[in-house]
Chains A and B, each alone.
Chain A
Amino acid sequence: MSETPHTSLLLGLLAVFAPLSLVTIGGGQSAIADINRQVVDVHQWMSQSQFVDAFAISRMAPGPGSLLVTLIGWQVAGFWGAIVSTLAIFGPTTFLIYAVAHMWSRNGGARWKRALETGLRPVAAGMILAATYVLLQAIDGGWFARAVAFASTATLLFTKVNPLLLIGAGVAIFVGLHAMSLV
């Protein structure tokens, strides 16, 4: 908080996250591939391994996964970075839902709503799968990491386990592999 980051850096965070806000369909998960590209490749605000660490922390924390962006803002530009990034990623869609909630009392709007729902589904699925692909490429730990990821996917698809427990298991497995000097 003591340092005052350059206004240009804050504007940069705003310019990256505000447009992404409007395309996070089906939850913030869908934008992660693009956030990764912008933050690491385009602007070089952090390294790939810093990004993956931040992603891991965001999954351990409570609340929406998009708080990853808050964390990035914090790491890149401190307190104001966190504030600007948070407002950029959550703000624009808040006005959108507010406007719709306001209009909703006047008309039910069945057909366009259904078209919106079924129409956006394939786009959301494609984006989430893309995010997964990019993260699988980015992660350290090679095939061990991939094995843990696929095992976690299978567990989630076939059981009702708490995701936080799985993340704990991932930590335990990697600490164990490290103890055996495998990673």
Chain B
Amino acid sequence: MSTPETPSAPSCSQLFWVFTRIALTSFGGGLSGWLLREFVQNRKWMTQEEFLNGLSISQALPGVNVKNMAVWIGYRLLGWRGAIIGFVGIIVPPAIVIVLLEAVFSSLSGYPLTHVALTGAAAAAVGLSLSMGITAARAVPRNAIPMIIMAGTFVAVAILHWPLFWVVLVAGFVSVAYAYVKGRVDE
């Protein structure tokens, strides 16, 4: 490993524009790849190791990964101001876009074709959701307990319609406790 270059800190407005641009040009995922390219490779504001630490924490914690990542990066670069900039930059501009998009569709809602088009879009988007589910399921360890937890979560939410909050609280606790104990045995 070569010694990492000392990253230079960005200014508040630089940071805000990078987050905004990434938020507005990203569609349907793949955002962490963008963030890596902008912050580590192009601008060298942080080291790759620091970035990957943030990424794994952002994925492990609840919350939208990219928003977690933006807050993490912002905090590492500019402290609490950076965290606020990360949050606002990644959420507010696309929030405005989505409301404008909705206005366009509702002004067209008199035409039956609008609902047909949205149904087609939703069908393709459900396919996106299923492919993510399959990818996530593949990453689950091939052991009885994690498999039972995955199936149990599915049945509780999809079939039994139990409240997600309590399902995740219980399933998450059992599953993390199991992983922790198993990690200790494996060592």
Binding site for B on A (CB under 8 A): 19-29, 31-34, 37, 49, 52-67, 70-71, 74-75, 82, 86, 90, 92-94, 96-98, 100-102, 104, 111-136, 139-141, 144-146, 148-153, 155-157, 162-164, 166-167, 169-175, 177-178, 183
Say yes or no: A128 contacts B180, CB within 8 Å.
no
Partner of A148, one of B63, B124, B136, B163: B124
Partner of A123, one of B58, B99, B132, B171: B171
Assuming the A-B contacts A63-B93, A71-B98, A100-B57, are A183 and B124 also in contact, with contact meaning beta carbons closer than 8 angstroms in the complex? no
Stretch at the interface among B7-15, B37-45, B65-73: B65-73
Assuming the A-B contacts A62-B97, A123-B168, A156-B127, are A23 and B62 also in contact, with contact meaning beta carbons closer than 8 angstroms in the complex? yes
The answer for the CA separation of A183 and B62 in the assembled complex, in Å, is 39
- 8 A Cβ contacts from B44-100 to A: 53-54, 56-68, 71-72, 75-76, 80, 83, 87, 90-91, 93-95, 97-99
Partner of B149, one of A101, A123, A183: A123
Determine chain A's interface SS by DSSP, over half rule.
helix
Say yes or no: B139 contacts A121, CB within 8 Å.
yes
Chain A residues with CB under 8 Å of B24's CB are: 62-63
Say yes or no: B126 contacts A132, CB within 8 Å.
yes
Chain B residues with CB under 8 Å of A157's CB are: 131, 134-135
The answer for the CA separation of A80 and B25 in the assembled complex, in Å, is 26
Chain A residues with CB under 8 Å of B68's CB are: 93-94, 97
Say yes or no: B140 contacts A33, CB within 8 Å.
no
Partner of B122, one of A62, A75, A139: A139
Say yes or no: B105 contacts A53, CB within 8 Å.
yes
Say yes or no: B29 contacts A163, CB within 8 Å.
yes
Determine chain B's interface SS by DSSP, over half rule.
helix
The answer to whether B110 has its CB under 8 Å from any CB of chain A is no
Chain A: minimal CB distance from B35 (Å): 13
Say yes or no: A132 contacts B122, CB within 8 Å.
no
